[in-house]
């Protein structure tokens, strides 16, 4: 089979790499991809904008691709899957209507409220004055979220009122998140360990993946601003199997059933960002696609054929997904200096050697005069598999610590919470 993957980050690199590991897929093109992906044998890239639906449709038709995997949230929320469907092309991902579960936090919160899905109590505001008044009355800690898409950076966990007010000013006065900040969702603070539970979904049927844990803050010891994610690992030993099963039964199952019941059935990857509280698992957020960087540590655990599984779902058949339960995976992001604020582009990307148990997934890179250079915030992720998390952590940091990362930075404590558990 020939598959087109839409997107340009390390997540899409991991998807493409995993598709090619299976016997069913012979050829993968990533649009627009990035030059680092081409270091993997068999991955091609194509300079087409993910928002240019007409050009993508023409490319698929003219080159006999079997189906399309849509990686990022923006084209999903713009309705690219609907456009492919109208053109008679199979695409794996939710419709525009179903992608609202990520595109609007208010939509997701209302859905959860109507169907009794556990999440933090919340209020939605569309003006600064009433939002500030609510924060002053409620007090801290409190969570401020821009309603729409903000590349994982529109959330502030405010431990004091001043931080909460500053976050509201960012959204309403400075318009830091553009139209994403036209509304704000203010939530009660939840205490507990976070984890990510992703599932392949087709209507009311779903197939959960192994859980993982992301690291949102930019710097060691969970200091600094929120980012798109600085690293992840799987499994998450401090989250018991009973908690995961409870999350599947009380969150994933009723959510996919609610989407069908409300006329917006979900097909694709449903990402549940969860927190294990004393009252059981609760939803922090839903995404309508694979998480990044979680994908880069979850897909390496897949022992079945990803392309065959997705083909089965697209054909309305029952897929088979099997996972490596014996080994641990851990990944660390290398980011440009200044990220997630004013980034400094142009750092030279060193050659990083990988082996059968490790891989480099490229994201914000471009071609320079002498190899690859950093061209965005998150540059790449180094992932390793090992019999346990401590060994996987040692392997990744052994790789990163041995190369010149001038002009870039990475966290040195990915996986520490699990190792302390």
Round to whole Å and give the CA distance between 63 and 373: 31
CATH of region 328-420: 3.90.600.10
In contact, 296 and 10? CB cutoff 8 Å: yes
Return the CATH number of 193-314, one of 3.40.50.10540, 3.40.50.620, 3.30.470.20, 3.10.350.10. 3.30.470.20
Among 174-183, 201-210, 230-239, 299-308, whose mean pLDDT is lowest? Answer: 174-183
The stretch 399-415 carries a mean pLDDT of: 97
Residues 6+ apart with CB under 8 A from 306: 15, 18, 19, 21, 22, 25, 299
CATH of region 2-95: 3.40.50.20
In contact, 353 and 39? CB cutoff 8 Å: no
CATH 3.30.1490.20 residue ranges of the chain are 121-188
CATH 3.90.600.10 residue ranges of the chain are 328-420
Sheet holding 280-287, edge to edge: 205-208, 193-202, 267-277, 280-287
What's the pLDDT at 179?
A: 56
Over residues 262-303, the pLDDT tens digits come to: 999 999 999 999 999 999 999 999 999 999 999 999 999 999
24 burial class (0-12, 13-18, 19+ CB within 10 angstroms)? Answer: middle
CATH 3.30.470.20 residue ranges of the chain are 193-314
What's the pLDDT at 152?
A: 53
Q: Which residues pair with 368 in a beta bridge?
A: 371
39 burial class (0-12, 13-18, 19+ CB within 10 angstroms)? Answer: middle
Over residues 331-389, the pLDDT tens digits come to: 999 999 999 999 999 999 999 988 999 999 999 999 999 899 999 999 999 999 999 99
pLDDT of residue 207 exceeding 90, the answer is yes
> pLDDT above 70 covers what percent of the chain?
97
CATH of region 121-188: 3.30.1490.20
Q: Is the peptide bond before 110 cis (omega within 30 degrees of 0)?
A: no
Round to whole Å and give the CA distance between 210 and 287: 16
- Can you tell me which residue has the tokens 């318009």? 175
Which among 281, 290, 267 is positioned nearest to 152, based on CA atoms?
290
């Amino acid at each position: 089979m020939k598959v087109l993957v839409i997107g340009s980050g390390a997540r899409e690199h991991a998807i493409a790499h995993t598709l090619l590991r299976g016997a069913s897929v012979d050829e993968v093109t990533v649009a627009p991809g990035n030059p680092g992906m081409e270091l993997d044998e068999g991955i091609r890239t194509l300079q087409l904008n993910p928002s240019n639906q007409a050009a993508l449709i023409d490319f698929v038709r003219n080159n006999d691709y079997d189906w399309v995997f849509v990686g990022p949230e923006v084209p999903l929320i713009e309705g690219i899957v609907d456009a492919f469907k109208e053109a008679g092309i199979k695409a794996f991902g939710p419709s525009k209507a179903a992608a609202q579960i990520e595109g609007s936090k208010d939509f997701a919160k209302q859905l959860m409220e109507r169907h009794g899905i556990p999440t933090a109590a919340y209020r939605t505001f569309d003006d600064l004055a009433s939002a500030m008044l609510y924060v002053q009355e409620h007090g801290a800690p409190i969570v401020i979220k821009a309603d729409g898409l903000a590349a994982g950076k529109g959330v502030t966990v405010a431990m004091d009122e001043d931080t909460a007010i500053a976050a509201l000013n960012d959204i309403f006065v400075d318009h830091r998140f553009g139209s994403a900040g036209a509304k704000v969702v203010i939530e009660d603070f939840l205490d507990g360990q976070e984890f990510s539970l992703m599932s392949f979904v087709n209507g009311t049927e779903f197939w959960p993946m192994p859980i993982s844990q992301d690291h949102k803050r930019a710097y060691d010891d969970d200091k600094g601003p929120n980012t798109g994610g600085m690293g992840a690992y799987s499994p998450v030993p401090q989250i018991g199997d009973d908690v995961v099963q409870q999350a599947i039964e009380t969150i994933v199952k009723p959510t996919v059933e609610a989407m069908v019941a409300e006329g917006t059935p979900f097909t694709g990857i449903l990402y549940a960002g969860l927190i294990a509280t004393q009252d059981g698992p609760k939803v922090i957020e839903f995404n309508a696609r694979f998480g990044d960087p979680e994908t880069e540590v979850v897909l390496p655990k897949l022992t079945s054929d990803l392309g065959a599984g997705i083909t089965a779902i697209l054909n309305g058949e029952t897929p088979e997904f099997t996972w490596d339960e014996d080994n641990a995976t851990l990944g660390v992001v290398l980011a440009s200096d200044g990220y997630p604020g004013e980034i400094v582009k142009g750092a030279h990307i060193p050659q990083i050697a990988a082996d059968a148990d490790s891989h480099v997934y490229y994201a914000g890179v471009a071609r320079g005069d002498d190899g690859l250079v950093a061209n965005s915030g998150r540059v790449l992720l180094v992932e390793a598999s090992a019999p346990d998390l401590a060994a996987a952590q040692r392997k990744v940091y052994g790789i990163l610590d041995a190369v010149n990362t001038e002009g870039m930075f990475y966290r040195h404590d990915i996986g520490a919470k699990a190792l302390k558990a």
